[in-house]
Structure 1
Amino acid sequence: MRFLHRASPWRVLFAGESLPAPDSLPDLLAPLREALAILGPHPDLADTYAWQSTLVEALVRLDLPAWRIAQLISDHNATLYRRAIRLAEAEMCSQGWGPAPVGYCVLVLGSGGRHESLLGPDQDNAMIIEEYPDARHVEIDGYFQSLGERFTARLDAAGIPLCSGHVMARWPMWRKRLSEWQRQLEIWSAERRTKRVQQANILLDFTPVCGDEALSDALRDWVAQRLPGAGLFLDEMGALFDEQPVALDRFGRLAGSLEGAPHERALNLKHQAVLPLVAAVRLLSLRHAVRETDTRRRLAALVACDAIDAETCRGLIAAHDRLQALLLSEQRHNLAAGRAADGWVDLTRLGEDQRLLLRHDLQRIRALQRQA
Structure 2
Amino acid sequence: AHAEPVFAKLLGEQMTTGNPFTVFGGFQLENGRLDIKKHGLFPIVATARTLAIRHGICERSTRARLEQLIALDIGGEPDMKAMLAGHTMLIGLLLAQQTHDIYAGIPVSNRVEINALAREQQAQLKSLIKRLQSAPDLVRDLMFASPATLGQ
TM (norm. structure 2) is 0.80
Using the TM superposition, give the Cα deviation of residue 344 of structure 1 relative to its aligned residue in structure 2, in angstroms: 1.0
After TM superposition, the structure 1 = structure 2 runs for residues 181-196 of structure 1, keeping only pairs within 5 Å, are: none
After TM superposition, the structure 1 = structure 2 runs for residues 281-360 of structure 1, keeping only pairs within 5 Å, are: 281-360=48-127
Aligned-partner residue type, residue 254 of structure 1: F
Tell me if the contact between 2:21 and 2:28 (Cα under 8 Å) persists in the aligned partners: yes
Counterpart of 2:42 in structure 1 is: 275
Counterpart of 1:235 in structure 2 is: 9
Relative contact order, higher structure (CA 8 A, sep 6+): 2
Counterpart of 1:248 in structure 2 is: 21
After TM superposition, the structure 1 = structure 2 runs for residues 94-109 of structure 1, keeping only pairs within 5 Å, are: none
User: Structure 2: 5+ residue runs without aligned partners?
Assistant: 140-152
User: Structure 1: 5+ residue runs without aligned partners?
Assistant: 1-224
Give CA-to-partner distance per residue, 1:54-110, whole Å, 9 cap, x none: xxxxxxxxxxxxxxxxxxxxxxxxxxxxxxxxxxxxxxxxxxxxxxxxxxxxxxxxx
Aligned-partner residue type, residue 110 of structure 2: G
Give CA-to-partner distance per residue, 1:292-331, whole Å, 9 cap, x none: 1111111110011123454333321111111011101100
Using the TM superposition, give the Cα deviation of residue 255 of structure 1 relative to its aligned residue in structure 2, in angstroms: 2.3
For 2:41 and 2:74, the matched residues in 1 are separated by 20
Tell me if the contact between 2:66 and 2:80 (Cα under 8 Å) persists in the aligned partners: yes
For 1:348 and 1:251, the matched residues in 2 are separated by 17
Aligned-partner residue type, residue 238 of structure 1: G
Aligned-partner residue type, residue 366 of structure 1: Q
For 2:10 and 2:77, the matched residues in 1 are separated by 27
Q: How many residues align?
A: 139
Alpha carbons of 1:302 and 1:239: their partners in 2 closer, same or farther (altered >3 Å)? Answer: same
Tell me if the contact between 2:94 and 2:111 (Cα under 8 Å) persists in the aligned partners: yes
Using the TM superposition, give the Cα deviation of residue 283 of structure 1 relative to its aligned residue in structure 2, in angstroms: 0.6
Tell me if the contact between 2:3 and 2:55 (Cα under 8 Å) persists in the aligned partners: no
- Rg larger in structure: 1
For 2:67 and 2:138, the matched residues in 1 are separated by 16
Tell me if the contact between 2:57 and 2:65 (Cα under 8 Å) persists in the aligned partners: yes
Using the TM superposition, give the Cα deviation of residue 246 of structure 1 relative to its aligned residue in structure 2, in angstroms: 5.9
Alpha carbons of 1:298 and 1:250: their partners in 2 closer, same or farther (altered >3 Å)? Answer: farther
For 1:234 and 1:252, the matched residues in 2 are separated by 32
For 1:268 and 1:332, the matched residues in 2 are separated by 16
For 2:74 and 2:24, the matched residues in 1 are separated by 28
Counterpart of 2:143 in structure 1 is: none
Aligned-partner residue type, residue 274 of structure 1: L
Using the TM superposition, give the Cα deviation of residue 250 of structure 1 relative to its aligned residue in structure 2, in angstroms: 6.5
For 1:250 and 1:288, the matched residues in 2 are separated by 37
Using the TM superposition, give the Cα deviation of residue 252 of structure 1 relative to its aligned residue in structure 2, in angstroms: 4.9
Counterpart of 1:92 in structure 2 is: none
The secondary structure found in structure 2 opposite 1:241 is coil
TM (norm. structure 1) is 0.35
Alpha carbons of 1:246 and 1:234: their partners in 2 closer, same or farther (altered >3 Å)? Answer: farther
